[in-house]
Amino acid sequence: MSYKIMATLFLLAFFIFSIEFVIAKRMDCCVSDGTYKVERIPGSKVGLGEGPYWDIPSQSLYYVDIYGGTLCRYDSKEHKVYKCKIENETLSSFMIPVEGQSNQFLVGCDRHVNIVEWNGVSETCKVKKTLTKVEQSLSENRFNDAKCDPWGRLFGGTMRHTGDIYNYRDGFFYKYDKGNMEIIFSDIGISNGLTWDKERKLFYYIDSLKYNCLVYDYDSATGTIVKSSERVFAKNIKQEGDQTLLPDGMTITDCGQILISVYNGGKLLHYNRQGKLVKEFCLPAKLTTSVAFGGENLDEMYVTSKADDSEEGGYLFRITGSGLKGLPMSNCKL
């Protein structure tokens, strides 16, 4: 084959790749390793995205903008994002639908757990009721990640949110059940990801400042985390070159495998049931915060992120083609 023909074929291949890349960018898609696709959801950018929750009836992904005091809903049918500012609130750390109550959500606001009423469309909403308050003497703390176990009990924790947050362990981890707020763990740095393996009766938990993921035996009848059973599930999620990584939010697949979002790493870590790292899913935003499964078949992954000086930071991303499936998320049973 002559040099001219080879050069022409090379230029043609480069041209085709360039066209595909431009089209992908216009569709808010990111080039991946070929086995999965990452899509940036238009209109989803926030300051600090967290707490993704897939609502099956509405086929919507709920999430929050923590420092905006804002609730968000991505409608997958309309391919549109709705945002709602909570009146008289500056912080919103999580939102979970209340079982049997239309348009009502359990929302972590500062150090309060509130019921907020929102129709998923309006631009403002109000606190309907405050269920409980914590740490009233710790004004520099706030709620962070929270979820309900498969039986509807609320679990979540707090963290310092002013100053050098990486040098404090002033947080707590709580269970809210039948009107009672109980401290489960103290001496918490940044209370973050949590999930349950219902089949194997396990509870997974991340304190980001321990740079690992812990697993505990779980008594589903009482909602008790068996502290004496603590062991490390995934360790040394800390350093990559000169970058300090933080394990953040997480979720579980339908076969008990774990996905952990890595803050400052721009990726998800996929672990099998034995805690072995199977794969990394790379994202265009560096400050990825959490992940949840969604879509009609629960085979899409939605990843939240924090805004930074990049174009991609703060957006919600959807990963398709991963070959993984999740489980329905749990509403709160009050």
| Contact predicate 303/316, CB 8 Å | yes
- Strands 191-197 and 154-160, bridge-based pairing: unpaired
- In-domain check, residue 334: no
Per-residue pLDDT for 48 more than 80? yes
| Contact predicate 51/61, CB 8 Å | no
Per-residue pLDDT for 53 more than 80? yes
Per-residue pLDDT for 165 more than 50? yes
- In-domain check, residue 10: no
- CATH (domain of 228): 2.120.10.30
pLDDT tens column, 5-32: 444 444 544 443 443 433 333 333 343 4
Q: What percent of the chain has pLDDT over 90?
A: 87
- In-domain check, residue 147: yes
In this predicted structure, what is the pLDDT of residue 34?
61
Residues forming a β-bridge with 225: 218
- In-domain check, residue 155: yes
What whole-number distance in Å separates Cα of residue 329 and Cα of residue 309?
A: 33
Spatial CA neighbour of 300 closest among 31, 46, 44, 56: 56
The residues annotated with a catalytic role in the active site are: 248
**Residue 17: C-alpha distances to residues 11, 23, 42 (Å):** 10, 10, 23
| Contact predicate 52/304, CB 8 Å | yes
- In-domain check, residue 6: no
Structural domain span for residue 132: 19-320
Per-residue pLDDT for 319 more than 50? yes
Spatial CA neighbour of 93 closest among 69, 128, 61: 69
pLDDT classification of 239: cutoffs 50, 70, 90: confident
What would the mean pLDDT of 79-90 be, rounded to a whole number?
97
Domain count for the chain, please give it: 1
- In-domain check, residue 4: no
- In-domain check, residue 84: yes
Helix H, strand E, coil C: the string for 12-49 is HHHHHHHHHHHHHHHCCEECCCCCCEEEECCCCCCCEE
Q: Give the long-range contacts of residues 266-270, CB within 8 A, separation 24 or more.
A: 268/301, 268/303, 268/319, 269/234, 269/237, 270/324
pLDDT tens column, 93-138: 999 999 999 999 999 999 999 999 999 999 999 999 999 999 999 9
pLDDT tens column, 262-315: 999 999 999 999 999 999 999 999 999 999 999 999 999 999 999 999 999 999
| Contact predicate 174/156, CB 8 Å | yes
DSSP 36-102: -EEEEPTT---SBEEEEEEETTTTEEEEEEGGGTEEEEEETTTTEEEEEEETT-S----EEEBTT-T
What would the mean pLDDT of 182-207 be, rounded to a whole number?
98
Spatial CA neighbour of 77 closest among 98, 103, 101, 58: 58
